Amino acid sequence: MSPEITVLACVALPLLAPALITALHRWPNPREAVTLLVSGCLFLLVTSLLGDVLGGIRPALDLAEPLPGLKIAFEVEPLGLLFALLASFLWVVTSVYSIGYMRSHHEWRQTSYYSYFAVALGSTMGIAFAGNLFTLFIFYELLTLSTYPLVTHAGDDAAREGGRMYLGYLLGTSVILLLLALVWTWSLTGTLDFRAGGILEGVVTPGIAGILLALFIFGIGKAAVMPFHLWLPAAMVAPTPVSALLHAVAVVKAGVFTLLKVAIYIFGLDFLAEIPATQWLLYVAAATILVAALVALRQDNLKLRLAWSTISQLSYIVLCTLLITPLGIVGGSLHIVMHAFAKITLFFCAGAILVATHKTRISELNGIGRRMPWTMAAFTVGALSMIGVPPTGGFISKWYILLGAIDAQQMFAVGVIIVSTLLNAAYFLPIVYAAFFRPQESNPDVRQKDTDGEAPLMMLLAITVTALGTMVLFFFPDLPLELALQLAGEIE
């Protein structure tokens, strides 16, 4: 198969899978087999592109031309491949987890759940491989729409309210700010292609470009930069696998990924450095990191604490982008991967606790480590990675982020990262401590059977894979690092 066809298949396969999933809606086992098969195939397809891209080849193809000069086109570059690899690998793991979760939690409408999940992943692939900003925007919106039914899966009033926030924030920012930025860029330059070195230099003054940059940063609502961050806690009404893969990996990372692409290929780092507004936007990102971490400290709902932590961590990557050094870009790209593995582990654990004990609040988790040692061990690994303690992947990315900040001589950013690391420890370590060292509260009303045992095997399997992955990435960060360095090489 030629690489171009592979690229097309990567996007088309998950988008077409719902047809088969819906056709098999009467037979749950074959239906879930389709999801597993498609996700497995997708991962293999994405992996098969690796050799070409590392060899310097950029597979590209044009699909359609909705407007003169604006094409739906795909092109694979290192960052996109890194994102696609990450999302497709974690989709396989999440699919295994989903089966365990959805069945033991007796969720309804499972056919539509798996269908929309596949569409969401197809959109993510479209974002990762988009050859220009226009294509990226199309799949960005498709991702919002396809995840809406997943967020509102429960179908009750809380889901409807959460869905409103989700759609309102994401479509609101993208339709008003991002689209405006797109049309503006288009009317200034006559192109929306991704080009090394950017397309805006020499077309606008740095002052105007600052406004445009602000439109992009706030318009990409999926990056959850304050004040457009509230959709992420609202999205926590979704089933846990959705929160895990989509709201810790695919959707939010699509946001920061878009931001990185815009910074590198639309503005270009050289031009970005001339824009005075970057310093102010850096402060906004820094404020998001700290404020979100402080809010996370006060959350008692485990999923909400994880969501606020995600907001904080996403702005690490925004901050990296605004450092405007190649090392910062490397750090940001690595953090996409490292944070994804750690955060998905944490969400998986939250779901496992929910399924096994029906508990959602952190204050109820005293002594849970004795009942669910496997799950809580994985939780600890995830928490350590979030803080950036070896031997976890989080250490690697934090290392490069700090290198980037020092390289850019932004001591302010260095300070923010150090303070936020302390805050990370402050909101994650008490959970670990309570789980292992506090005595379990005995409740005489609950029968022995309900207070015993781990989560289902399928879920534990997924948790183990991501927790191990978090540690493996510390010892062997070669692949993401190589892709990130190649990206940085393209910039220089």
Partner 1 sequence: MLLANLPALQVVIPLVSAPVCLLLRNPRHAWAWSTLVSWLVLAMAIMLAQRVYVMGTLSYAIGAWATPWGIEYRIDMAGALMILVIGTIGALVMPYAWRSIQHELHNKHTGLFYTCYLLCLTGLLGIVVTGDAFNLFVFLEISSLSSYVLISLGSKRRALTAAFQYLVMGTIGATFILIGIGLLYMMTGTLNMLDISQRLPEVADTRTIRVAFAFVTVGVSIKLALFPLHIWLPNAYTFAPSVVSAFIAATATKAGVYVLLRFFFTVFGIRFSFAAMHVGEILMLLAVAAILIASLVAIFQNNVKRMLAYSSVAQIGYIILGISLATTDGVTAGMLHLFNHALIKCALFLSLGCIFLRLGSVELQDMHGLARQMPWTMAAFVAGGLSLVGLPLTAGFISKWYLVSALLMDGYWPLAVLILVSSLLALIYIWRVVEAAFFHVPGTAMHRVKEAPASMLIPTWLLIGANLYVGINASLITDIAQQGAAALIGQALR
Interface positions with partner 1 (CB under 8 A): 64-68, 72, 137-138, 141-142, 145, 152, 155, 159-160, 164, 167, 171-172, 175-176, 179-180, 183-184, 186-187
Burial class (CB in 10 A: 0-12, 13-18, 19+), 132: buried
Structure-block tokens of residue 223: 């990056």
Q: Which is nearer to partner 1, 4 or 141 (CB)?
A: 141
Any idea of the CA torsion for 315, 318, 324, 329, to the nearest 10 degrees? 100
DSSP, collapsed to helix, strand or coil, labels residue 365 as: coil
HSE (side-chain half, CA atoms, 13 Å) at 92: 17
Which residues, other chains included, contact 122 with Cβ-Cβ below 8 Å and sequence gap of 6+?
11, 12, 13, 14, 15, 17
Nearest to 239 by CA among 177, 312, 331, 149: 149
**Nearest-approach distance from CB 194 to partner 1, in angstroms:** 17
- d(CA 276, CA 146) in angstroms, rounded, equals 37
Q: Which is nearer to partner 1, 172 or 391 (CB)?
A: 172
Structure-block tokens of residue 19: 């047809």
**Nearest-approach distance from CB 119 to partner 1, in angstroms:** 13
**Nearest-approach distance from CB 2 to partner 1, in angstroms:** 24
Q: Which is nearer to partner 1, 208 or 403 (CB)?
A: 208
**Nearest-approach distance from CB 158 to partner 1, in angstroms:** 11
**Nearest-approach distance from CB 113 to partner 1, in angstroms:** 15
**Nearest-approach distance from CB 377 to partner 1, in angstroms:** 40
* Helix or strand run (H / E) with residue 63: strand 60-67
Tell me which DSSP letter residue 441 carries: P
- d(CA 424, CA 342) in angstroms, rounded, equals 13
**Nearest-approach distance from CB 171 to partner 1, in angstroms:** 6
Q: Which is nearer to partner 1, 65 or 441 (CB)?
A: 65
**Nearest-approach distance from CB 18 to partner 1, in angstroms:** 13
Q: Which is nearer to partner 1, 91 or 166 (CB)?
A: 166
**Nearest-approach distance from CB 213 to partner 1, in angstroms:** 16
Our separate counts of H helices and E strands in the chain read 22, 2
Q: Which is nearer to partner 1, 173 or 313 (CB)?
A: 173
Q: Measured in Å, how far apart are the chain's first and last C-alpha atoms?
A: 33
**Nearest-approach distance from CB 166 to partner 1, in angstroms:** 11
**Nearest-approach distance from CB 163 to partner 1, in angstroms:** 8
Query: Rg (Cα) of the chain, in Å, rounded?
Result: 21
- d(CA 47, CA 61) in angstroms, rounded, equals 18
Q: Which is nearer to partner 1, 155 or 276 (CB)?
A: 155
CA 245: distance to chain centroid? 7
DSSP, collapsed to helix, strand or coil, labels residue 91 as: helix
Q: Which is nearer to partner 1, 156 or 441 (CB)?
A: 156
Name the packing angle between helices 478-491 and 326-357 (round to 10°): 140
Structure-block tokens of residue 433: 């401590």
Q: 58 phi and psi, to 5 degrees?
A: -120, 90
DSSP, collapsed to helix, strand or coil, labels residue 66 as: strand
Q: Which is nearer to partner 1, 63 or 403 (CB)?
A: 63
Q: Which is nearer to partner 1, 72 or 306 (CB)?
A: 72
- d(CA 336, CA 365) in angstroms, rounded, equals 29
Q: Which is nearer to partner 1, 44 or 158 (CB)?
A: 158
**Nearest-approach distance from CB 29 to partner 1, in angstroms:** 25
- d(CA 206, CA 224) in angstroms, rounded, equals 25
- Single-letter code of the amino acid located at 477: P
